[in-house]
């Protein structure tokens, strides 16, 4: 890629990460925080300046735009889309982000000046691959926001390249920037029918070369424990403590099926929070597996543990409600195999070894695939997402731009 691309994606990324777009589960609107509107309005203006068509920012904070086809009339090319989310993780501060530029990186541990702590090569061996590149970190007091502002910057830069240099004849290319992905609401108000793409790609992944075609199947199992409160001085034989019952329930979780002990294609049960008192405790459990059958097994396991807890606390009333979140996107991507095949080919054509990866999480593409728009996930280059030790190599963002452009070219050859 040219020096202009490198400078363009860097400039955009540095401008975007200093805008506080941290989402929150406590918000009442969509987007859940006002800072997301700030970035969305900025992007709306930039899309118009680039000359994009049909730039629409919805009342729910979904920003869409069209790069019109350059193919001659009657030359049918499938419409494709690229998406990224503007919010950052709700559990780590995204306020007053101070990105640190480590130009011509020397391969040594990197000091994070806000805390004096270090990004250690021993803990981040991938750093060795980027000696001589520019590595961008936080100052150690906040996250960086590469998840997913690297994806946002890459999409905007790819659009600029395609508009200004017109490297090939292409079909319609749609883009979308969504809010609140980190709290599972990114696709909640997505204008699917108006978007009109045949396939789409989220730019929300990690190391360069990765194409992610699987996610967890995800449910939330909300457990409610109803006890009985009486004066503790006169509680013998009368009190049923929902708090102690909750502790008992969690102690029964199988150690081989929790986040701390699982990897790869292993699923888990994860108690997210505990809220309540002696009378009533509520615990939402994240239930994750790569198959629907496995998801059902884990929910049956939790139901069994709930029954054991009820038996251990006579008189305790229990309830479990299941809310579906998303399904493994692989179930839907198989209906249009070109979505993944052309992404893998594009990665290879851009000089990287393509790697097909399963995400131990979800993306907007999980929901969109289930809604009928096949949407695998592409790398954007970031590492240590959601952490004050988040970092990204500039070269990885450049490669993400190149892959998007090559995907557009490969789809221009399809019918």
Measuring CA to CA, which residue among 139, 214, 179, 166 is closest to residue 21? 179
User: Do residues 153 and 174 share a domain?
Assistant: yes
Q: What is the CA radius of gyration of the chain?
A: 23
Could you say which of 260, 293, 324 is where a domain stops? Answer: 324
179/39 Cα distance (integer angstroms): 10
45 and 149 part of one domain = yes
Q: Tokens representing 64?
A: 């869409």
Q: Does residue 316 sit in the same domain as residue 250?
A: yes
Q: Which of 150, 206, 141 is nearest to 388 (CA)?
A: 141
Element (H, E) at 160: helix 146-165
pLDDT at residue number 415: 87
pLDDT of 248 = 98
- Whether 171 and 316 map to the same domain: the answer is no
Domain span including residue 359: 3-215+328-411
pLDDT at 1: 57
pLDDT for residue 362: 85
The sign of the torsion formed by the CA atoms of 57, 61, 67, 68 equals negative
Q: How many domains does the chain have?
A: 2
pTM here is 0.91
Active site residues: 87, 181
| pLDDT (0 to 100) of residue 388 | 98
For residues 389 and 112, the answer to whether their CB atoms sit within 8 Å is yes
- Selection from 140, 95, 154 nearest residue 394 by Cα: 154
Walk along the chain (415 residues) in steps of 10 and give the mean pLDDT of each run: 88 98 89 97 98 97 97 86 97 96 97 97 97 97 98 98 92 97 91 96 96 95 98 96 98 96 97 97 97 97 98 98 93 95 98 95 91 97 97 98 97 93
Buried b (16+ CB within 10 A) or exposed e, 348-373: ebbebebeebbbbebbbbbbbbbeeb
Output the pLDDT for position 26. Answer: 86
């Amino acid at each position: 890629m040219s020096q202009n691309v490198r400078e363009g994606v860097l400039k955009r990324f540095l401008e975007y990460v200093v805008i506080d777009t941290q989402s929150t589960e406590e918000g009442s609107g969509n987007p859940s925080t006002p800072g997301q509107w700030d970035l969305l309005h900025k992007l709306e203006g930039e899309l118009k300046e680039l000359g994009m068509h049909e730039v629409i920012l919805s009342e729910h904070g979904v920003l869409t735009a069209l790069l019109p086809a350059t193919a001659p009339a009657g030359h049918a090319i499938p419409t494709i889309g690229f998406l990224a989310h503007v919010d950052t993780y709700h559990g780590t501060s995204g306020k007053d982000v101070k990105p640190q530029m480590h130009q011509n990186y020397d391969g040594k541990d990197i000091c994070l000046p806000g805390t004096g702590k270090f990004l250690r090569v021993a803990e981040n061996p991938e750093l060795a691959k980027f000696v001589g590149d520019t590595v961008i970190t936080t100052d150690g007091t906040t996250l960086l926001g590469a998840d997913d502002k690297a994806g946002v910057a890459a999409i905007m830069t790819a659009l600029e390249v395609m508009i200004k240099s017109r490297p090939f004849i292409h079909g319609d290319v749609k883009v979308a920037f969504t809010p609140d992905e980190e709290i599972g609401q990114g696709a909640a108000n997505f204008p699917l029918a108006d978007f009109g793409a045949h396939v789409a790609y989220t730019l929300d992944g990690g190391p360069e070369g990765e194409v992610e075609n699987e996610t967890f199947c995800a449910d939330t199992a909300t457990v409610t424990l109803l006890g009985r409160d009486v004066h503790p001085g006169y509680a013998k034989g009368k009190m049923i403590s929902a708090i102690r019952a909750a502790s008992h329930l969690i102690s029964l979780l199988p150690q081989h099926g929790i986040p701390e002990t699982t990897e790869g294609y292993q699923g888990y049960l994860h108690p997210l929070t505990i809220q309540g008192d002696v009378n009533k405790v509520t615990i939402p459990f994240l239930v994750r597996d790569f198959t629907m059958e496995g998801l059902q097994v884990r929910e049956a396991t939790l139901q069994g543990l709930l029954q054991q807890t009820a038996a251990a606390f006579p008189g305790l009333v229990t309830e479990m409600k299941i809310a579906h979140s998303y399904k493994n996107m692989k179930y839907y991507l198989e209906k249009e195999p070109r979505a993944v095949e052309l992404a893998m080919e594009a990665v290879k054509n851009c000089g990287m070894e393509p790697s097909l990866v399963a995400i131990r999480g979800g993306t907007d593409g999980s929901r969109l695939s289930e809604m009928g728009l096949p949407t695998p996930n592409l790398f954007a280059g970031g590492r240590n997402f959601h952490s004050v030790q988040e970092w990204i190599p500039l070269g990885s963002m450049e490669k993400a731009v190149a892959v998007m452009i090559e995907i557009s070219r490969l789809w221009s050859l399809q019918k």
